[in-house]
Chain A
Amino acid sequence: MSGITAILDNAARALSAEQLGVEVTGHNLANVNTKGYSRQSVDYVTAYPEPSPWGPLGRGVKVQGIERAFDPFITARLNDKSSLLADYQTRSAALQQVATFFNETQDGGLNDLLSQFFAAWHDLANNPTGAGERQTLLSRGLNLAEAVNSRADQLVQERLSLLQQVGPTIDEINSHSARIAELTREIVESEANGHTANDLRDQRDLEIAKLSELVGVRTYTTGDGNLSVTLPNGLPLVQGVLSWNLTYQLSPADTVELIWQGPGGINESIPAGQLTGGKLAALIQTRDELIPKYQQDLDQLARDIITAINNQHSQGVGLELFSQTTGTYRVSDPGAPLAAALPLGDQIVNGSFQLYIDRNGTPLVSGSIAIDPSLSLNDLVQSINTDPVLSGYVTASIEDNALKIAVNSPTDTFGFANDNSHALTSLGLNTFFTGDKAYTFGVNAWVLDNPDLVAAGQIDASGAHAVGDNRNALALAALEKAPAGPDGLTFAEAYERLVMNLGLDAQDAQNQEKFFQGLVDQLTQMRDAVSGVSLDEELTNLVKFQRAYQAAARLVSVADELYQTLLNLGK
């Protein structure tokens, strides 16, 4: 029913509606810098009209509710890309770290040490008797070994540091899942009266965004405020108001095994390959797939250097011969075939090596020991000790599961030659390097203690050996340019390939990171275009609501004047 009261009624509703407008604007202004906040606005509708003789008469404004500006599709895409961005960020950071260990753009790289090592063999070939040349060679050998060790160690450290991040990342994932379930419960409760819980939904969306950065997830909403969050393989992290935890353990193969702890104590293992995107997947894949690849390459390189150098070195003699020597490699079982029992046992082939005995520095006798990969260390000891020639001069024994050969008479010394079985390499006798992988790569203590044992020369068939002989040193120096290892690359080339692969992987991760950063920036702009707060816009709105409020207030005074006029009629 129309009338002055209706006008007042209208004005009162307008006043409270515009006041709400100012309040919501204030809320927007206050949250201009709040992460995940979506701009809110009052949904005004005209109040239900009243029938009047002149037709339906407008009854002013009515507040329908408060809405948030939110585009679920852009947000879903943004989460998806943020997930991939976080993946590449983590990968790139780890690979950059690994790349610094192999940074060959600076001085003192492994490549340089490798060249220096072989240069030292050339120098020794130029002056086989030089004590200085021998010492330089040994220290360059040590430098090379230590550089390889330290890189192997750094790779292990990097894997460890990645593993240390896995636990906290999983904890974070679990706490975000729990928070999402908690927020869902609050949203369902507070939306029971039919109004959208805008700020709670903002918070939940923010939690989902944070979760996406840690692990790739998919979300499904059911309309009534409920929400499911699942991993790419379908296992749920959040189902409505319930959440499930992730945990991990190390598998026997030293890989991270991710476990989903479902309802009723169900534990389900999640293969790392099933995760896509997110920091967690990057941590696990970098630790268990990428870095082991470099470790393998480095181990292979170290092994190739050790076997190639030792195969040649064991053919020669130094300035001095041995009165006794012990192998650097131990067998796992003295009764087992050498090929299986020694770390480098795969090098052994059918063949033989020769032992030359000197008495008081003059060649005396020589003998040949036949080698067969199926021989055990016990067999070998027996074969030396029952050799018709050699048994009178040397005695073989097993010390600490390694082969020891010693002369019987203090006037005698012995040297090795013509080992075509590679048994000496595998046993670690008359060798230069020790170890069988990057981590254990070292220089044989026998030559370190006595540089005169560096085998620059070779024994002639007559048993003669001279100090000026540089044949073995020349052959060793030539290994620098010789193809080695399964791919037929030189050591330097194999190392270059390792460095280049690593560099390419790191560069690729960096490029992907940049690409996804661009996408995320773009999507963030799109999201902000919808949900972000513009100060100028809000200020304009503020003035708008203020003016509307003033107008409504004016309506009250007009109604008041109308009343006055009416009341004065009777005077």
Chain B
Amino acid sequence: MRVTMPTIFNNIQGNLQTLAEDLQRLNTSIASGQKFQSISDSPVDVGALLGLTTEGSQTAQYERNLDTAKGWLSVTVSTMQQIEDIVRASMALANQMATSTYNAAQRQSAAQQVQGYLEEAMQIGNTEFKGQYILAGFRTDTPPFLEGDWQVQAPVLHLTPGSTGTAVSGGVYRGSTGRTYLVEIVSGGGPGVGTYRVSTDGGQNWTDPAIIPAGPASLGDGVEVTLGGTWNAGDRFSIPVYRPIKYQGDNHNIEIALGAQSRLVINETGSYAVGGGPGDPDLFQILAQLKSSLEANDTAGVGSALEKLRSYEARNTSVQASLGASLDRVNMKENIYASLKEELTRQISERGDTDLVEAVNLLKTKENAYQAALLASSKIMGLSLMDYL
């Protein structure tokens, strides 16, 4: 083949250009640490990388969700534990007070203690986590447990055999502290015949006996009771007055996403876990009953409250167990995501990151080639017949 000037010079230019392009690409790849600079460099790899990155950020998000779940679950567990502590203390107290070795005055002061427990249980039930009430269902902006208005409760009757007495409590309480009115029939008979006396300290001090009226009898501070039937002497009943604690939240379970298809409940509704709602067992009601029984110096009532406390404790334990199981699931998922993230990072790096050793080696090779090309080109360009003519 005839080799002509354009051929020689085009070749030199073309070869140097190709080598310079290779050098440039290697240089960018080393400097940026990324194998691909444009989607057209390797569309399939770039597509796969996109998929991996998306998965990576989803995994990171699920990890964040797990953090939230962990926060909620841990706070709920510790809340339930604190409530359990109160329940234990109340049970110990009730146990003591159910025995006959204690007197009315001691039971009065125990009642005060129970009132303290009650308030504390309510406070703990209103625990906030990051500004949200954790036991309120979806109504995280409202304290789940709220004391209602003073309520005169139904009488708790302790009748002697043969008595047909009935009592209906009523009236509006005007006092400011919870108390239990203990009423004892002094002499038997129906309205207008029998007499009764009232105590507000569990029978330590009594009012003077009064004749049972036909209408409502005032017990003091607005509390009334209407007695019917025929009473026997020694019949007793107590009317507790307290502010019942009501559940303000709803019954929704809050879920968070642990994965594409899996969700986890991260809360426990207060009415189920503690009480204040329509269902049983209701810790607040049990404690209130315990308190009134103590105020009324009613050991049988204390005993029945103790039974109910036991059943609540079982509920509390089962709630804690299910929360614990959820926490376990969170921890397990955390481990899975941690290893998944590691694997994703490895794959992304393998596909997308520059292999420095390889790249630097290649750079060195190309550099040598470029220098060789320059040398050869200058030799060829220097050759001319003119030098010899």
Footprint of B on A, CB under 8 Å? 32-33, 39, 95-96, 99-100, 102-105, 109, 111-112, 114-116, 118-119, 122-123, 125-129, 457, 460, 464, 466-471, 474, 477-478, 480-481, 492-493, 495-497, 499-504, 506-507, 510, 521, 524-525, 528-530, 532-537, 539-540, 543
Contacts and interface: CB of A to CB of B under 8 A. Distances in A.
A290 B41 CA distance: 19
Contacts of A532: 2, 4-7
26 contacts: A39-B4, A100-B38, A105-B37, A111-B54, A112-B57, A115-B61, A122-B64, A122-B256, A123-B61, A464-B250, A467-B138, A467-B139, A467-B141, A468-B132, A468-B136, A468-B254, A470-B254, A470-B255, A474-B256, A500-B46, A503-B46, A507-B40, A525-B1, A525-B11, A534-B3, A536-B384
Contacts of A501: 43
Given A119-B57, A528-B7, A535 B65 contact: no
Nearest to B263: A474
A503 B43 contact: yes
A276 to B, nearest CB: 24
A384 to B, nearest CB: 29
Given A122-B61, A126-B65, A466-B140, A499 B50 contact: yes
B36 interface: yes
Interface residues of B, number: 57
B141 A470 contact: no
Interface string B296-330: 00000000000000000000000000000000000
Given A95-B40, A99-B38, 7 more contacts: A99-B39, A129-B132, A467-B138, A468-B140, A469-B252, A478-B257, A529-B2
A534 B4 contact: yes
Contacts of B386: 535, 539
A29 to B, nearest CB: 10
Contacts of B131: 129
Interface string B8-39: 00110010000000000000000000101111
B222 interface: no
A477 B255 CA distance: 12
Interface in B325-357: 352
B140 A477 contact: no
Nearest to A500: B47
Contacts of A496: 47, 50-51, 54
A116 B7 contact: no
A540 to B, nearest CB: 7
Given A126-B65, A466-B138, A529 B1 contact: yes
B174 interface: no
A493 B55 CA distance: 11
A125 B263 CA distance: 12
A528 B6 contact: yes
A125 B258 CA distance: 12
Contact of A466 (B2, B6, B39, B139): B139
B257 A492 contact: no
**Best-surrounded residue of B7, B62, B255, B263 (most CB of chain A within 10 A):** B7
A528 to B, nearest CB: 5
Contact of A507 (B43, B57, B352): B43
B275 interface: no
Nearest to B266: A126
A469 B7 contact: no
A492 B385 contact: no
Given A127-B130, A507-B40, A528 B4 contact: yes
A495 B47 CA distance: 9
A507 B36 CA distance: 13
A457 B260 contact: no
Contacts of B250: 460, 464, 466
Contact of B389 (A104, A123, A467, A543): A543
Contacts of B60: 119
Nearest to B138: A466
A176 to B, nearest CB: 22
Contacts of A119: 57-58, 60-61, 64
